[in-house]
Amino acid sequence: MFNLDDIIKSSNKILLLSHMNPDGDTLGSMCALYGMIYNRFKKKADMNIVSNIPYNYKFLPNINLAERYFDKSLVYDLVITLDVAAIDRVLDSKIFFDKAKCTINIDHHKTNPGFGDFHLIEPDASSCGEVLFNYFKANNWPIDKDSAICLYTAIMTDTGNFRFENTSSQTLRAAADLVDCGANPNLIYKKCYETKTKNFVMFQNYCVNKAVFLNDNKIVYTAVYKKDLEKFSAGDDYTDGIAETLRAIDSTEIAFVLKEVDKKLTKISMRSKTTDVAKICTTFGGGGHTFAAGCTIKADIKDSIEKILKEIKL
């Protein structure tokens, strides 16, 4: 095990890296480590984001200090990746990692190959935030209020508000400790989950409303046309979560959302309770997890529905 204290003490220029399409875990972990390093060593690390920060994470303490672009000629003494399962997830910023005098990889993904000079990877931890919390706790780094807010956000969002199967008793103990350090669960919940736009909610309800139920309601799907997306000025993320909403119906076994890319191309997002939908999506060149997968079919929505229904055996 490496000693983060010694490494940080001997490093003057430090960069913290988050992954592309950032989530609450990578951003919360990055801001938490920034705060902890500042409080303990009075050193200001640089924080790098490689894509836009989603609106609901802009409340994170110190996130305003994170920057999108840095001079690519900079050479850092220390670069630390947070929640980065594979180094290509930091896009162009990989150059800083490659040139750094020392690199540390902090993560919780089982598939992380362990790149970097040192790594701290805990596959049983719910989130990168929990890995950091465990480190701070084990090494007696006192956690300040702002860092507690960031770590709590990281853990809460990666566990789907403490509902997913990665939520352990250890996760809940970490969360409880962070509340003692000043994180307010209700406030953080509201910031993360109660900031959807009216258009987003109306669009999702519209899509759910026109869902089609088949096979004793075991199969449910909804088709989203380009004209629907235009009507609601829908962003790329507007269809996120619709398949989960349809799966949450008690009778549902398989739910899928079809999104019209153009007249000859349809994107499908599929969810199930027990059926291996990755297998179904693989037949169309897609893939994913057992209960959550996706694919793109070279056909219009009507033909895509037919093709998918042929592959579903319930």
* Chain residues that interact with Mn ion, rule: CB under 5 A: 25, 83, 127, 158
Instruction: Identify which of residues 48 and 127 has a Cβ nearer to Mn ion in the complex.
Output: 127
**Beta-carbon contacts of residue 70 (< 8 Å; ≥ 6 apart):** 15, 46, 48, 93, 96
Distance CA 35, CA 233 (A): 38
Task: Considering the complex, state which of residue 82 and residue 242 has its C-beta at the smaller distance from Mn ion.
Answer: 82
Q: Mind giving me the DSSP string for 58-118?
A: TTSTTGGG-BS---TT---SEEEEES-SSGGGGGGGHHHHHH-SEEEEEE--TT----SSE
Nearer to Mn ion, 22 or 61 (CB): 22
Nearer residue to Mn ion within complex by CB, 81 or 252 = 81
Query: Backbone dihedral region of 237: left (phi > 0), alpha (psi from -120 to 50 degrees) or beta?
Result: alpha
Looking at residue 232, the DSSP 8-state letter turns out to be: T
106 exposed, middle or buried (CB, 10 Å; 0-12, 13-18, 19+)?
A: buried
- Report the distance separating Cα 121 and Cα 109, nearest Å: 7
Task: Establish how many alpha carbons lie within 13 A of residue 192's alpha carbon, considering only the half-sphere containing its beta carbon.
Answer: 24
Least distance (Å) from Mn ion to the CB of residue 24? Answer: 8
Could you tell me the smallest distance in angstroms from the CB atom of residue 108 to Mn ion?
6
Locus of tokens 């939520």: 167
Is-contact 33 132, C-beta < 8 A? yes
Minimum separation from the CB atom of position 109 to Mn ion (A): 7
Q: How far is the CB of 73 from Mn ion (least distance, A)?
A: 31
Determine the Cα–Cα distance for residues 102 and 89; give it in Å rounded to an integer.
Answer: 19
Helix 24-41 × helix 145-158 angle, to 10°: 160
CB of 287 to Mn ion, least distance (A): 20
Which residue number, 129 or 294, has a Cβ lying nearer to Mn ion? 129
Q: Report the residue number, 25 or 260, with the smaller CB distance to Mn ion.
A: 25
Q: CB 157 → Mn ion: shortest distance, Å?
A: 8
Least Cβ distance, residue 85 to Mn ion (angstroms): 8
| Residue of closest CB approach to Mn ion | 25
**Cβ closest to Mn ion, residue 144 vs residue 158:** 158
